Structure 1
């Protein structure tokens, strides 16, 4: 995040894939291995194909070390984790077949929208082998907003390694509010 040393972030180890070697233990750590892009649209979808057979990591929506949502795979287990201030909890978990898995995050305005709702809702899930999306959790986006959490840089969506070595074949981001 704050630097990109070759020993932690490479495209040479597995040609065509981004390989991340973890340091730190989670997105709560300031030296976590994370690479991402700014969320530029209220409604968007980000996806990645991840192979976490040698570690654990995944896809995250991140404001800072104390405010992030992530969907993480390790071996044959996927889990959604929410960190809001001093609270950190596993929101959902499920088993997946061994091998690479597509993780996805979608943001959309809440329905209905009102004074007690966030700017958006964040859905985290996986794509099944047949291409259908299975949502594991939907979380209020206000806790990842600068209005609630502070800061000024906004959200970043990207991939990270929490433990061991994690390989990412591709990452895509697309606006949904065209």
Structure 2
């Protein structure tokens, strides 16, 4: 999930683990790492908004506990400036990967 080159959160998979990396300005830090089951995984990004205060961005693997939950202000126009807002997508930084689909599901009120 990214705002721009200097403001983004990444959920990565390598060597049987999922990791979350935050990039805020000049700082890049791996914040969390969890083991994932062998075979295909379904990454999940859940953005929860709040009436008062920042939104929360949770990264997980479908069916598992969150890998990390982060403050949504940092990759936003509030901190990074700009006007287009956040974007979400998939990319490969090393090796190969196969993406079967990408699906955006808006939250539903229960």
Picking from 73, 84, 88, the partner of 1:142 is 73
SS of 2:78's equivalent? helix
Are 2:18 and 1:83 equivalent residues in the alignment? Answer: no
TM-score (norm 1): 0.57
| Residue deviations 1:36-74 (CA, integer Å, cap 9, x gap) | xxxxxxxxxxxxxxxxxxxxxxxxx11111111111101
Q: Point out the structure with max Rg over C-alpha.
A: 1
TM-score (norm: length of structure 2): 0.90
1:137 alignment partner, SS class: strand
Q: Structure 1 runs of 4+ off > 6 angstroms?
A: none
Identify, as 1 or 2, the structure richer in strand: 1
**Residue of 96, 103, 107 corresponding to 1:165:** 96
Report how many aligned residue pairs link the two structures. Answer: 109
For structure 1, which runs of at least 5 residues remain unmatched after alignment?
1-60
Using CA pairs below 8 Å that are at least 6 residues apart, which structure has the higher relative contact order?
Answer: 1
Aligned partner of 2:33 in structure 1 is: 93
Q: Report deviation, 1:100.
A: 1.1
> Which SS does the other structure have where 2:37 is aligned?
coil
2:89 pairs with 1:153: no
Query: Aligned residue for 1:126?
Result: 61
What's the Cα RMSD here? 1.5
Once the 2 structures are TM-superposed, how far is the Cα of residue 177 of structure 1 from its aligned partner? Answer: 5.0
Structure 2, unaligned stretches of length 5 or more?
Answer: none
